[in-house]
Amino acid sequence: MKTVMRNSALLLAVSAVSAQTGVNPDITIPATDGSLPAPGSNGCAEGYFPSTDTVIFTVPYTYKEVLSIIGNYTNLTWSGSPDNSVTTNNSAALKSNDWTPGSARFYDIDGAHVIETITTYEKPADGPYIEIHTLAPLTIPAANLSAYSDYDAQNWTSICGGKATYANFTIHFCATNATLGAGLLHSIHLADAVTVGKFLGGNNFTTCEALESNSTTPSGSSTTSGMLPSSTSSMTPITNAAVGQSVGGIFGFVGAFAGFAALAAAL
Ligand SMILES: *[C@@H]1O[C@H](CO)[C@@H](O)[C@H](O)[C@H]1NC(C)=O
Ligand SMILES: *[C@@H]1O[C@H](CO)[C@@H](O)[C@H](O)[C@H]1NC(C)=O
Ligand SMILES: *[C@@H]1O[C@H](CO)[C@@H](O)[C@H](O)[C@H]1NC(C)=O
Ligand SMILES: *[C@@H]1O[C@H](CO)[C@@H](O)[C@H](O)[C@H]1NC(C)=O
Ligand SMILES: *[C@@H]1O[C@H](CO)[C@@H](O)[C@H](O)[C@H]1NC(C)=O
Ligand SMILES: *[C@@H]1O[C@H](CO)[C@@H](O)[C@H](O)[C@H]1NC(C)=O
Ligand SMILES: *[C@@H]1O[C@H](CO)[C@@H](O)[C@H](O)[C@H]1NC(C)=O
Ligand SMILES: *[C@@H]1O[C@H](CO)[C@@H](O)[C@H](O)[C@H]1NC(C)=O
Ligand SMILES: *[C@H]1O[C@@H](CO)[C@H](O)[C@@H](O)[C@@H]1NC(C)=O
């Protein structure tokens, strides 16, 4: 009798926590081995919902310059993690900088313990740089959000005859609140891309032509309402006026996350 009572008290406590944080009590967070939960009928574990977010951003800097900022899996200064705050279980790659599938990186940010494991890593001298990793389940307490991802991809491709670099951040994820997750991930990835440009000098991309007449003030206007290239178009550079898309129409939604600006900058 006593055991039953204690158990139901525990159950109550657990469901109270779940209601507050949206955490599925079957999922251990952090999953220290970096593993992902088994998918349920909607593709996600119980209590989680699937979504996708894409951020497209072009920086007016060469692929080589971009790689000098992003080309080390454990150096996330461009993503707001201070030097040497990111660890890895592939210590050999720290020296060789030759990252391989299975390599995990670990860092803590805003109360979340992040574990990201590489599934694809390609870094040819002329690009594109392809880095795809999984994101083990984590909780961001301040955002009341738990999420994980089996596909968190970056593609950095040289464009404008080598004078600029086109970035595509695409994540497929499961979150306790898909709308909130998409908005937050969008802010984070956009801030990351903008930071790469800032680190390299802070010029904004407008058009390839503006880069030909290499004046420091871009001559093109940035008011063009950019379009995402259609799947049939060749590598048409787009202006950063259109920085992304999200399932659920996240366009113009980032502003709604002003409260998370610091969080986004930090992540
Ligand atoms: C936290 O998120 C869960 C799942 O989205 C939701 O059910 C709950 O109401 C939220 N709690 C608060 C305090 O906002
Ligand atoms: C990390 O990358 C930045 C450039 O983004 C560089 O200034 C810094 O020295 C690098 N840190 C380490 C420890 O390599
Ligand atoms: C990669 O970054 C880590 C710190 O984040 C640093 O310890 C390591 O030396 C860097 N590797 C290379 C090859 O620059
Ligand atoms: C990377 O992006 C470029 C430009 O959009 C595209 O041509 C290429 O196929 C992409 N690579 C991968 C592996 O998605
Ligand atoms: C961005 O990359 C994803 C794959 O990660 C691809 O499906 C999508 O078409 C790309 N979008 C653009 C606009 O390049
Ligand atoms: C999910 O997040 C959105 C955006 O922050 C919010 O409006 C909505 O109330 C949240 N839903 C739940 C169930 O907490
Ligand atoms: C680039 O764009 C940002 C945001 O619109 C702006 O704050 C910044 O001043 C611009 N930088 C330059 C060099 O024009
Ligand atoms: C413009 O580019 C040319 C050739 O790449 C270079 O010699 C010149 O110094 C550049 N001018 C400026 C103002 O950057
Ligand atoms: C990191 O190392 C690789 C290769 O040894 C393993 O396959 C991963 O399981 C391991 N990841 C974690 C989170 O420890």
CATH number at 190 reads 3.30.530.20
Q: Which atom of ligand 1 is nearest to the CA of 145?
A: 2
The answer to whether position 64 is within a domain reads yes
Residue 176 lies in a domain: yes
pLDDT for 253:
37
Indicate which residue's Cα is closest to atom 6 of ligand 2: 69
Q: Which atom of ligand 9 is nearest to the CA of 115?
A: 13
**How many distinct structural domains can be found in the chain?**
1
Ligand nearest the Cα of residue 35 is 9
Question: Do the domain assignments include residue 25?
Answer: no
pLDDT of residue 21: 53
Distance linking the first and last C-alpha atoms of the chain? 48
Task: Report pTM.
Answer: 0.82
Whether residue 88 lies inside any domain: the answer is: yes
The residue whose C-alpha atom lies closest to atom 6 belonging to ligand 6 is 180
Q: Model confidence over 77-109: pLDDT tens digits?
A: 999 999 989 999 999 999 999 999 999 999 998
Task: State residue 254 phi and psi, 5-degree precision.
Answer: -55, -35
Distance from the alpha carbon of residue 220 to the mean position of ligand 8, in angstroms: 18
What is each CA distance from 50 to 23, 45, 171, 202, in whole angstroms?
15, 9, 11, 35
Q: How many CB atoms lie within 10 A of CB 223?
A: 8
For residue 140, the CA-to-ligand 6 centroid distance in Å is: 14
In a domain, 125, yes or no: yes
pLDDT at 226: 33
Residue 122 resides in a domain: yes
What single DSSP character describes residue 203? P
Considering every ligand atom, which ligand is closest to the CA of 74? 3
Considering the domain boundaries, does residue 21 fall inside one?
no
Q: Which domain holds residue 168?
A: 2-13+44-266
Tokens matching residue 64: 């080589």
